[in-house]
């Protein structure tokens, strides 16, 4: 995402917003679709991170809940592509590229639509004067006599040079101060926002794990013979047990731990496990058929005349295979997303009334204050409520920051600047997530101080930026 934001932002100023959006959204939706079906983790990374296609179908195909989530996430891009096909390109972009007729047709279409809505369909659109802006350099075309690969190489090289020169232009003396200030604001906002929004679910998961661990049943030195287990085994610890001629069939093992135990002449069939491990165990004449008890689950264990047949294939995720846990993760994400809806509505209504800077700084200050309530989040419900509160308040800052960013730069540099700042945003997000999540279960003080400090710095720097409300855009 960091690389994509920088690349597509620069291209949007050169080949057009609409065309760039169509290409980028198409790539996003296609590989999001593929990533929901791949059966290997490396293939999944290839689809998600390297924009490659790795499509392998296992003989026993596994379609877990996370795949549905990834697949559903591709639908907004598909819907956006459908909507963009009916939208015209920016007329100003056409003017900057010397395409006056195309710009005139789009403006005429806008005029006719507005007049029909007002009840004056007979009014004719007319333009007497067009104030042309400085046109961009045309892409180099070496002519038909040149080999096609040389023409494409020259076009790509020229396009790269134009994108790079446009990027350097946002650091020119005219825009340097604005760019540096925006970099600081974007970095501080992203560091705190993404750090906390990922820290919240991790904290909720930690609290769930603590509560779950408190209900763990422990069995010591049990001896079990000639028994068939065909029901779910969950949240148990078995130490120094002996199991002779037992059958484990058609069951789920959830958070099961066997330590220093002996399994002799046992039979495991159709086992699905999550967070299950066998530590320092011995298996004698034991058969594993169609299970996901891979060897990484057998920690320092010994296998004597034991066999694995027809192991389950596909992507096995130890914690995610529990549908209840997965449902909780999605539900919390849904609540956090739903909480930003009021903030979006309020910011849309007040953006032009109070100004971009006041909304940005004010929302950042309130978000900073809300961070101190994190110290009271000692339960799952409290953390969910705080997540919704923080998300609902901070979204106003992001809306104001987005509007301010595009209004501070001229149209021929707008997407380049926005893409670069988004790339910086992703870098700050990686740092914030890495730092904040490392303190889960250790202390809340450090995330609170980091988040509140970053938000306070962002709100202070925001007041140093120029207000763009009511200003004529370049």
Instruction: Tell me: pLDDT of 218 over 80.
Output: yes
Identify the pLDDT of residue 131. Answer: 61
Phi, psi of 407 (to 5 degrees): -90, -15
pLDDT given for residue 61 in this prediction = 38
- Sequence ranges of the chain with CATH classification 2.160.20.80: 217-309
CATH 1.20.1250.20 segments of the chain: 174-210+321-462
Q: Residue 138 pLDDT more than 80?
A: no
pLDDT at 127 over 70: no
CATH class of segment(s) 174-210+321-462? mainly alpha
Which of helix, strand or coil describes residue 125? coil
Distance in angstroms (rounded) separating the CA atoms of residues 32 and 400: 29
What band does 316 get if pLDDT is binned at 50, 70 and 90? low
CA-based max dimension of the chain: 96
Helix axes 148-169, 2-15, angle to 10 degrees: 100
- % residues pLDDT > 90 (the chain): 15
Band of the pLDDT at 14, cuts 50, 70, 90? low
Residue 468 pLDDT: 67
Give which of 417, 448, 381, 377 is closest to 178, Cα–Cα: 417
> Above 90 in pLDDT, residue 237?
yes
Mean pLDDT of 384-397: 82
Render pLDDT for 289-308 as a digit per residue (tens, 0 to 9). 988 888 888 999 999 999 98
Q: What is the pLDDT of residue 374?
A: 75
Q: What is the pLDDT of residue 328?
A: 64
Per-residue confidence (pLDDT) for residue 128, from 0 to 100: 62
Mean pLDDT of 410-430: 82
Residue 103 has pLDDT above 90, yes or no: no
Domain 217-309 fold is: Pectate Lyase C-like (2.160.20)
Using the predicted structure, report yes or no on whether residue 240 has a pLDDT greater than 90.
yes
Q: Which residue has the higher pLDDT, 22 or 59?
A: 22
Q: Following CA atoms 441, 447, 449, 451 in sequence, which dihedral angle do they give, to the nearest 10 degrees?
A: -160
Token look-up 């046109």 returns: 135
> SS3 for 374?
helix
Q: Which element (helix H / strand E) includes 299?
A: strand 298-299
Q: Choose between 242 and 275: higher pLDDT.
A: 242
What integer best gives the mean pLDDT of the chain? 76
Which of the given ranges, 44-48, 241-245, 333-337, 392-396, has the highest pLDDT on average? Answer: 241-245
The pLDDT assigned to 58 comes to 34
Residue 53 confidence (pLDDT): 32
| Residue 285: band (very low, low, confident or very high) from pLDDT cuts 50, 70, 90 | very high
Query: Is pLDDT at 438 greater than 80 in this prediction?
Result: yes
Q: How confident is the model at residue 17 (pLDDT cuts 50, 70, 90)?
A: low
pLDDT above 90 for 224? yes
Identify which has the larger pLDDT, 53 or 185: 185
Higher pLDDT, 15 or 56: 15
- pLDDT reported for residue 220: 94
Cα angle: 146, vertex 150, 153; to 5 degrees: 145
d(CA 105, CA 30): 32
pLDDT class for 373, splitting at 50, 70, 90?
confident
Q: Taking 80 as the threshold, does the pLDDT of residue 334 lie above it?
A: no
pLDDT, average across residues 213-225: 91
Q: DSSP string covering 37-73, please? A: T--SHHHHHHHHHS--------SS----HHHHHHHHH
How high is the pLDDT of residue 21?
66
Q: pTM, whole model, 2 decimals?
A: 0.64
Above 70 in pLDDT, residue 56? no
Round to whole Å and give the CA distance between 16 and 220. Answer: 69
pLDDT score of 7 = 62
pLDDT number for residue 33: 64
User: Which pLDDT value is given to residue 104?
Assistant: 75
CB atoms within 10 A of CB 137: 11
Contacts 24+ apart (CB under 8 A), 47-52: 51/27
Of the ranges 146-150, 381-385, 388-392, which one carries the lowest mean pLDDT score?
146-150
């Amino acid at each position: 995402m960091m690389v994509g934001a920088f690349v597509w932002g620069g291209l949007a100023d050169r080949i057009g917003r609409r065309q760039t959006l169509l290409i980028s959204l198409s790539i996003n939706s296609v590989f999001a679709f593929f990533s929901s079906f791949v059966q290997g983790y490396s293939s999944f990374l290839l689809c998600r991170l390297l924009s490659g296609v790795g499509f392998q179908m296992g003989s026993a195909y596994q379609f877990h809940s996370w795949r549905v989530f990834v697949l559903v996430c591709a639908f907004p891009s598909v819907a956006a592509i459908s909507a963009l096909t009916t939208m015209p390109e920016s007329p100003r972009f056409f003017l900057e590229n010397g395409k006056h007729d195309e710009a005139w047709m789009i403006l005429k279409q806008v005029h006719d639509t507005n007049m029909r809505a007002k009840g004056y369909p007979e009014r004719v659109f007319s333009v007497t004067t067009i104030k042309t802006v400085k046109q961009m350099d045309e892409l180099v075309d070496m002519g038909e006599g040149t080999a096609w690969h040389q023409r494409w190489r020259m076009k790509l090289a020229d396009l790269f040079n134009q994108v790079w020169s446009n990027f350097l232009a946002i650091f020119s003396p005219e825009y340097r101060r604005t760019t540096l200030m925006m970099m600081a604001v974007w970095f501080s906002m992203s560091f705190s926002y993404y750090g906390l929004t990922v820290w919240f679910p991790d904290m909720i998961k930690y609290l769930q794990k603590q509560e779950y661990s408190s209900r763990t049943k422990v069995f010591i030195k049990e001896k079990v013979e000639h028994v068939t287990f065909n029901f779910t085994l969950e949240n148990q610890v078995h130490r120094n047990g002996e199991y002779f001629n037992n059958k484990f069939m058609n069951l789920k093992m959830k958070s099961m731990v066997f330590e220093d135990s002996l399994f002799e002449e046992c039979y495991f069939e159709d086992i699905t496990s999550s967070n299950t491990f066998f530590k320092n165990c011995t298996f004698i004449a034991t058969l594993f058929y169609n299970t996901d008890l891979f060897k990484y689950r057998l920690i320092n264990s010994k296998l004597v005349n034991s066999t694995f047949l027809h192991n389950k294939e596909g992507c096995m995720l130890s914690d995610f295979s529990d549908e209840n846990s997965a449902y909780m993760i999605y539900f919390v994400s849904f609540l956090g997303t739903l909480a930003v809806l009021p903030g979006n509505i309020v910011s849309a209504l007040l953006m032009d009334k109070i100004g971009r800077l006041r909304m940005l700084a004010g929302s950042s200050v309130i978000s900073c204050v809300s961070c101190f309530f994190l110290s009271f989040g000692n339960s799952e419900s409290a953390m969910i409520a705080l997540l919704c509160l923080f998300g609902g308040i901070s979204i106003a800052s992001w809306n104001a920051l987005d509007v301010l960013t595009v209004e501070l730069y001229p149209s021929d540099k707008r997407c380049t600047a926005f893409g670069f700042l988004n790339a910086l945003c992703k870098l700050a997000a990686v740092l914030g997530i890495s730092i904040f999540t490392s303190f889960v279960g250790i202390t809340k003080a450090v995330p609170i101080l980091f988040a509140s400090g970053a938000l306070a710095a962002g709100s202070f720097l925001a007041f140093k930026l120029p207000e763009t409300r009511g200003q004529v855009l370049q």
